[in-house]
Structure 1
Amino acid sequence: MKRLRPRAQEMLDELVDAVVRDEPPADLVERGLEPFPIALVSEVMGVPGTDRDRVHGWTRQIISTSGGAEAADRAKNSLYGWITQTIRSRADSTGEDVYSLLGAAVAGGDLSETEAVGLAGPLQIGGEAVTHNCGQMLYLLLTRPELRQWWQERPEARDGLLDELLRYIPHRSSVGLARIALEDVDLRGHRIRAGDPVYVSYLAANRDPDVFPEPDRIDPGRAPNPHLAFGNGPHYCTGAVLARLQTELLLTTLFERLPGLRLAVPADQVAWRRRTMIRGPRTLPCTW
């Protein structure tokens, strides 16, 4: 990720150059928050340019609920089928993109094909999450002057504020995926039977008052901050470092390059996404 940072900054600067050239106002979701993570993830993963639009179409449909479960399943099957074929086709590759690394690992017996595909899928879909999480962060910074002041005046403390925003912001529009119990389990007086679906809400965990004093308050200096925005343990998000890199670059670059950045509409007129698993503004009209 450290080696990637200069290239990521270059890609983002090209997008922001165009925004500056076209002058305000601009929808920063359309002009930056969406194209940058998608383009960077595609480059890191090794998605050919000719396939990027359809891969993005699949990832967008997977996180949407507008087409129902059938549409999401079709998109997921298409994406994972494409990933499987791509990993197979790169068995002899010496490239450093993720699909080449996974192809070589499967060919060398270090990973099974199922494991490789299971690792690649969430990484490929992750660009969508960065777009919408970062949209929520930018909305908060533009509507909460004290947070914006902290971000701009204390660059050495930005990691702490980023962690607090990750804790505070609800990533999903719902509880999330169910886990299925494989055997009977007694937990604090409750019997969970084999086959029962169990929903574990890390959104609720991130507002647990026993862990986070005044959990509904954004405290940029909160320490420690053991939030679960990226999961925990063996299920910790594989793309967490990449997601943080993209988010920090987006917020820093937009505030540096667009002086006086502010919403171009009243805050209550910002349109939010509906019928989707991941929360975020659908548009973010801004001027500067």
Structure 2
Amino acid sequence: MDTAPPGQAPFIVDPYPTLARIRANGPVSILHSDEGLPMWVIARYRDVRAALADPRFGQDVRRAQQLADDRVAGTTLGSDMVHMLNSDPPDHTRLRRLIHGFFTAKRVAAMRPMVERTTAMLLDGLDGRDTVDLVTDFAFPLPMLIICELIGFPPEDRLAYREWSTAVLTHSDDAEAFGRAMRDLTDYITGLLRQRRDDPRDDILTVLLAARDQGHLTDDEIVGMVFLLLIGGHETTVNLLGTATLALLRHPDQYRWLREHPAALPVAVDEFLRYESPVSMATLRFTTAPVDVDGVEIPAGELVLVSLGGANRDPDRFPDADRLVLDRADPGHLAFGHGLHRCLGAFLGKLEGEVALGQLLARHPGMTLAGTEDTLRWRNTIMLRGLESLPVALHG
């Protein structure tokens, strides 16, 4: 795309030319935030994979914020809420162990009928309509309904969850909106926890409450855990479904191939994840000791961005990396991360992608884009890669 829609930065619309320049520049580059905060960026596949598994790259949000404050006073990196994604062992190990059982391959496989029913119900709701917003009407409610079921959240409040999630992820530079969303979400979670104490169920909220009563969790950690699961449990799948559908509409040859080979959906979903990584930039890290990255040393105490989107488009790892190839049959992408912090919900995210795209294409094989590409708006964050909306004509 040559130009960005009004109000959309070119990097948000298409980050890949910039990421290619960063890769070509060397093993690491130093970029500066709007506030002047220096950050080292790693974008080559080999180096990204190594960094994700290297314990010298810490993720403790409190330490990262301290490092930022030492360089540029008043800089806010985001929420200071502690959860698995922004903590290090032993806290990370303890927190992850508590809910790991909800996301094992066996547990997720048993969820397939529920995912299929939810998908079919949402698609039934689109019957009789010529044009829909695939994000609002399908890609968002599907994973939200499923994660609400797992956590124990009332699904009827899902629009509020989406508003809070959007504010937290895309308005961290707006202190008022960010703070309001965090307060509202925290108050909401606290209220549900009070209710669950009197009404235990087979859900994550009940498990977390039991862990707190046994001294394994604090109240703040429960809120952080639920916050992470709610946002992480739907944002990535929303992005996957939206960008995968757009990629098919942009590549009619691949669209045709997938319709002719529906059994190849698991392989195709891996390619969608590689081609447009739902999480484009991994959670901010910092060096706890000097780290050599392919001959370049990052000193201790430096903030580091690790680009999953850049790694997954690295031509040294994936031939013809900027091309969508649904029969690539190479599951080596880093869309779910790697190492200690690899996405806990990877099995669930893949299942949701396979079921949702399979049913969508089976019901609406002639689907086309409604409108022009230059009107599409992308989520305004470098961390995520996703569409705000995707208008499609279901019947071509």
- Measure, in 2, the Cα distance between the counterparts of 1:232 and 1:100: 29
Aligned to 2:167: 61
Q: Is the 8 A contact 1:106 1:113 kept in 2?
A: yes
Alignment partner of 2:149 out of 43, 46, 62: 43
Q: Is the 8 A contact 2:240 2:272 kept in 1?
A: no
- Bigger CA drift: 137-146 or 213-222? 213-222
SS of the counterpart of 1:26? strand
Root mean square deviation, CA, Å: 2.8
Aligned to 1:14: 121
- Measure, in 1, the Cα distance between the counterparts of 2:131 and 2:329: 38
Structure 2, unpaired ranges of 5+ = 1-107
- Bigger CA drift: 69-78 or 191-200? 69-78
- Measure, in 2, the Cα distance between the counterparts of 1:86 and 1:92: 10
In structure 2, the CA distance between the partners of 1:73 and 1:226, relative to structure 1 (3 Å rule), is farther
- Measure, in 2, the Cα distance between the counterparts of 1:187 and 1:30: 41
Aligned to 1:130: 237
SS of the counterpart of 2:170? coil
CA deviation map 1:219-248 (0-9, x unaligned): 223243311101111101112222222222
**Aligned-pair distance for 1:32?**
1.1
Q: Is 1:279 paired with 2:385?
A: yes
SS of the counterpart of 1:19? coil
- Measure, in 2, the Cα distance between the counterparts of 1:185 and 1:67: 30
- Bigger CA drift: 58-67 or 223-232? 58-67
- Measure, in 2, the Cα distance between the counterparts of 1:30 and 1:233: 33
* Matching residue's letter, 1:209: P
**Aligned-pair distance for 1:168?**
1.1
Q: Is 1:27 paired with 2:141?
A: no
Aligned to 2:355: 249
Structure 1, unpaired ranges of 5+ = none
Aligned to 2:364: 258
Q: Is the 8 A contact 2:151 2:205 kept in 1?
A: yes
Aligned to 1:153: 260
* Matching residue's letter, 2:380: R
Tell me the matched-pair count: 285
- Measure, in 1, the Cα distance between the counterparts of 2:316 and 2:353: 29
* Matching residue's letter, 1:204: G
**TM-score, with length taken from structure 1:** 0.85
Write out aligned runs for 1:183-262 (5 A): 183-262=289-368
**Aligned-pair distance for 1:131?**
1.4
Aligned to 2:58: none
Percent identity (aligned): 36
- Measure, in 2, the Cα distance between the counterparts of 1:260 and 1:50: 32
**TM-score, with length taken from structure 2:** 0.64
- Measure, in 2, the Cα distance between the counterparts of 1:8 and 1:246: 7
